[in-house]
Amino acid sequence: MEAVFLPEGVRALDQQLERAGLLELAMEEAGRAGADGVQSHFPMGRVLLLCGSGANGGDGLVAARHLYALGREVVVLAQPSKHPLTRSNRRRLRAIGGTVSPLTLPALGRELARADVVVDGLLGTGFVPPLRPALAELVTALNAAGRPVVALDLPSGLNAALAEVEGEPVRAQVTVTFSGPKPALLYGPAAHWAGKVEVAPLRVPQEWRLTHAAATRPVAAEVAALLPVRPADAHKGTAGRVWVVGGSEGMVGAPLLSGLAALRTGAGLVTLYSEAELPQKIPELMIQTRPDLAATFADWPQKQRPDALCLGMGLGPRAPKLARLLLPWNIGTVLDADALQPELAGLGHAECIWTPHPAEAARLLGVGTPDITRDPLAAAQALQRKFGGVVVLKGGPSTIATPEGLLVSRGGHAGMATAGMGDTLSGILAALLAGGLPAPQAALVGVTLHARAGEWAGRQHGYGLIASDVSAELGRAWQSLRDDLSLKE
Ligand SMILES: NC(=O)C1=CN([C@@H]2O[C@H](COP(=O)(O)OP(=O)(O)OC[C@H]3O[C@@H](n4cnc5c(N)ncnc54)[C@H](OP(=O)(O)O)[C@@H]3O)[C@@H](O)[C@H]2O)[C@@H](O)CC1
Ligand SMILES: Nc1ncnc2c1ncn2[C@@H]1O[C@H](COP(=O)(O)OP(=O)(O)O)[C@@H](O)[C@H]1O
């Protein structure tokens, strides 16, 4: 289980490490991981290390010592050290013959001309934006030189907590981040500056890491362990009955995509309910057309209710009324698209999943879309508190808010940025709910399957992949996720 950290979490963890007398060892491990990152990605040539005055600079000085010991040609330009461990690591570097020169613009210019790779140990989680002008000038010069950069913890000038970018941060090819990733390394546009992100968890007790984490990012095997296993004598009645309630004139494809995804995720019986005529394109789907869905469901006998509902895709303005009617059924319910309306605040129950994309999330919270995308963790949490149940704030990655905490998804493919992809996710989630997974687990498994199927489809179709390609790959995605579990066992 990987931990996602905000700066305050890193500070609290550092305090705990300091009390235990382990902070120095943690910096040693961090610096060594940084040096290993340089060695594995840029094994040849002269290394220029830029070190700030805080602990991030200390990591840089440790990295310099390891690289020097490995026989690399090393040049260190550093600001005056303020952190006690940064000071002691400066002394250690000097003790083995390394030199440290003051970090000035002329010195940087000279050394950049001769460097093959640069290590950015200027600022980490202690950075408080905006970047002061003297450092901003150095960062601009560094980026203009076009040398490959390995950033320690995060590229200097990025606010670790946020996905937004203010001013010009260091542009890194590789970022070696410590303890766990920070939101700025997970979500664009900030993450675009970090290059390839490698996590050096540091040998910190798992419990300490999780205590101070803002969110977690489960590894594939942890998600795979949640996949339901069906008995050999299963039949369509036990494999989960899903209803998709959606579609309206001109919007007839959305419920079909949800229905297809529900079938491909293993739902035994999938029925589409709509007030519009839906084309019978997928023979395995049962289609029920009703002139007034609210009247149809008002007196529906409890015994004939499905195992899970998927509501809102292309449904139009009737969606909130139907949501009010169907949420009290208290069965697994996915609310998407037109069913994502602020008037439904507080109506979520333990088995429901709201699936907004950022613009829908903004509508639900009454804020602008940039307020959502700059801080997806906070937005997902606010949505969960306001609407109840489980929230999947969609994106690449998606953020899942449950009453127990926040999760960040892995995987996906840029080709998934196409219409109908969210409808597909809704169908997957509904099938998992119908199969008996509790909503928090269904959200995590569903988002992971969707992303992985997108990866498989992306290999074949690239940016031209369409939503039904993702459904076609769901079986392979499921199987490959199970393989991750078997490999671990
Ligand atoms: N558990 C872990 O994960 C571990 C993490 N570790 C590492 O600790 C790092 C955090 O270290 P940290 O807290 O010392 O802060 P850090 O990022 O070095 O920045 C402080 C410096 O920034 C400066 N500064 C601030 N704002 C500025 C601005 N706008 N413009 C210009 N300058 C500005 C500020 O200057 P001052 O305000 O003091 O003048 C101060 O000098 C973390 O990222 C990771 O690398 C490991 O070592 C151990 C285990
Ligand atoms: N670049 C990407 N990487 C990973 N997943 C993506 C990416 N772009 C889109 N997705 C996923 O595709 C889905 C898009 O949903 P949405 O915008 O609601 O589509 P629609 O409304 O057209 O059905 C979300 O689940 C999102 O996480």
Q: What is the mean pLDDT of residues 367-383?
A: 98
pLDDT exceeds 80 at position 78: yes
Whether residue 181 is preceded by a cis peptide bond, meaning omega within 30 degrees of 0, is: no
Q: Is the minimum distance from the CB of 83 to ligand 1 under 6 angstroms? A: yes
Report whether 5 belongs to an annotated binding site. no
Q: Which of 394, 409, 445 to mutate to test the pocket of ligand 2 (most atoms within 8 A of CB)?
A: 394
CB 152 within 8 A of CB 34: yes
Q: Which residues pair with 2 in a beta bridge?
A: 217
Report whether 98 belongs to an annotated binding site. no
Pairing type for strands 332-335 and 308-311 reads parallel
Mean pLDDT, the chain, integer: 96
Nearest 5°: CA angle at 355, between 472 and 404?
115
Q: What is the pLDDT of residues 416-444, one digit of tens each?
A: 999 999 999 999 999 999 999 999 999 99
Report whether 34 belongs to an annotated binding site. no
Q: 127-135 contacts: CB < 8 A, separation 24 or more?
A: 127/156, 127/157, 127/158, 127/159, 127/160, 129/157, 129/159, 129/166, 129/167, 130/166, 130/167, 131/156, 131/157, 131/167, 131/168, 131/169
pLDDT exceeds 60 at position 488: no
Report whether 395 belongs to an annotated binding site. yes
pLDDT of residue 237: 85
Ligand 2, atom nearest to 414 Cα: 1
CA of 455 to the centre of ligand 2 (A): 13
User: Tokens standing for 258?
Assistant: 């949800």
Report whether 136 belongs to an annotated binding site. no
Q: What is the pLDDT of residues 443-472, one digit of tens each?
A: 999 999 999 999 999 999 999 999 999 999
Q: What is the side-by-side order of every strand in the sheet holding 100-102?
A: 100-102, 74-78, 47-51, 117-121, 149-152, 174-178, 196-200
Ligand 2, atom nearest to 424 Cα: 23
Predicted model pTM: 0.96
Q: What is the pLDDT of residues 305-348, one digit of tens each?
A: 999 999 999 999 999 999 999 999 999 999 999 999 999 999 99
Give the integer Cα–Cα distance in Å for 284 and 228: 22
Give the integer Cα–Cα distance in Å for 446 and 425: 7
Q: Rounded to a whole number, what is the largest CA-CA distance in the chain?
A: 84
Q: What is the pLDDT of residues 44-75, one digit of tens each?
A: 999 999 999 999 999 999 999 999 999 999 99
Q: Is the minimum distance from the CB of 412 to ligand 2 under 6 angstroms? A: yes
Q: Is the minimum distance from the CB of 307 to ligand 1 under 6 angstroms? A: no
CA of 126 to the centre of ligand 1 (A): 3
Q: What is the pLDDT of residues 14-45, one digit of tens each?
A: 999 999 999 999 999 999 999 999 999 999 99
pLDDT exceeds 80 at position 476: yes
Pairing type for strands 308-311 and 241-245 reads parallel
Q: What is the pLDDT of residues 229-259, one digit of tens each?
A: 888 898 988 889 999 999 999 999 999 999 9
Q: Is the minimum distance from the CB of 9 to ligand 1 under 6 angstroms? A: no
Using 50, 70 and 90 to split pLDDT, how confident is the model at 485? confident
pLDDT of residue 487: 58
Q: What is the pLDDT of residues 120-143, one digit of tens each?
A: 999 999 999 999 999 999 999 999
pLDDT of residue 489: 45
Nearest protein Cα to ligand 2, atom 12: 421
Report whether 126 belongs to an annotated binding site. yes
Closest ligand to C-alpha of residue 119 is 1
Q: Which of 66, 153, 182, 208 to mutate to test the pocket of ligand 1 (most atoms within 8 A of CB)?
A: 153
Q: Which of 421, 466, 474 to mutate to test the pocket of ligand 2 (most atoms within 8 A of CB)?
A: 421
